[in-house]
Chains A and B, each alone.
Chain A
Amino acid sequence: NAGVMQNPRHLVRRRGQEARLRCSPMKGHSHVYWYRQLPEEGLKFMVYLQKENIIDESGMPKERFSAEFPKEGPSILRIQQVVRGDSAAYFCASSPLDRRVNYGYTFGSGTRLTVV
């Protein structure tokens, strides 16, 4: 039973390019969360999605960042016109519909984005 799958594991982009990060949740999980970890910092919440719905995007930068979780396929975090400050590890986590808040998320291994 595969866990949360994120790809690519490493992504290098030049300034101004677009970055697309993919996340396939665990089988049976319908909630997806994206977190970002900047160097020497903790995990910062970005967005919480269910299938075809954005539930909470309070942590998303207002510009250049977008996320989706379509009916079919993985969740996508998209960063347009990347800048050096976007370099970070991006983690996706998933949970089932009936998750109790005290069970914790299942995290993927992350995508390490480097902007050069």
Chain B
Amino acid sequence: DQQVKQNSPSLSVQEGRISILNCDYTNSMFDYFLWYKKYPAEGPTFLISISSIKDKNEDGRFTVFLNKSAKHLSLHIVPSQPGDSAVYFCAASGSNAGKSTFGDGTTLTVKP
């Protein structure tokens, strides 16, 4: 049973346009949601997070939206840059810390 799902394995956008990466979850006990970015042959890097008591969190070009009733979150990157090309993982945690559960990732390609 996959509790965190990223249904789009890949996404391609033009430089300067918006990238929207989606994530769905099934476990209503999750309280925190995080996005990580991963380049080949490197470990994931934490990007941005959101608490379940919020519906939006913004950090520069990155904004995460949470729709708790739909158990859905999305990461918006605007404007997209070629350096944003990477695999993006959605992850979720309970409020008692400990492990995070990851999705399978979406490969974003930003074309110049």
* Contact surface of A with B, Cβ cutoff 8 Å: 4, 6, 33, 35, 41-45, 48, 55-56, 58-59, 91, 93, 95, 99, 101-110
Contacts and interface: CB of A to CB of B under 8 A. Distances in A.
Nearest to A42: B104
Contact of B99 (A6, A45, A102, A108): A45
Contacts of A41: 104
A52 B62 CA distance: 38
B103 A42 contact: yes
Nearest to A6: B43
B34 A104 contact: yes
A55 B45 CA distance: 24
Interface in B50-86: 50-51
Interface residues of B, number: 29
A91 B44 contact: yes
A91 B46 contact: no
Contacts of B50: 102
25 contacts: A41-B104, A42-B89, A42-B102, A42-B104, A43-B91, A43-B102, A45-B100, A45-B101, A55-B98, A59-B99, A91-B43, A101-B31, A102-B32, A102-B34, A102-B49, A102-B50, A102-B51, A102-B93, A103-B46, A103-B49, A104-B46, A104-B47, A106-B46, A107-B43, A107-B44
A64 to B, nearest CB: 21
B99 A4 contact: no
B51 A33 contact: no
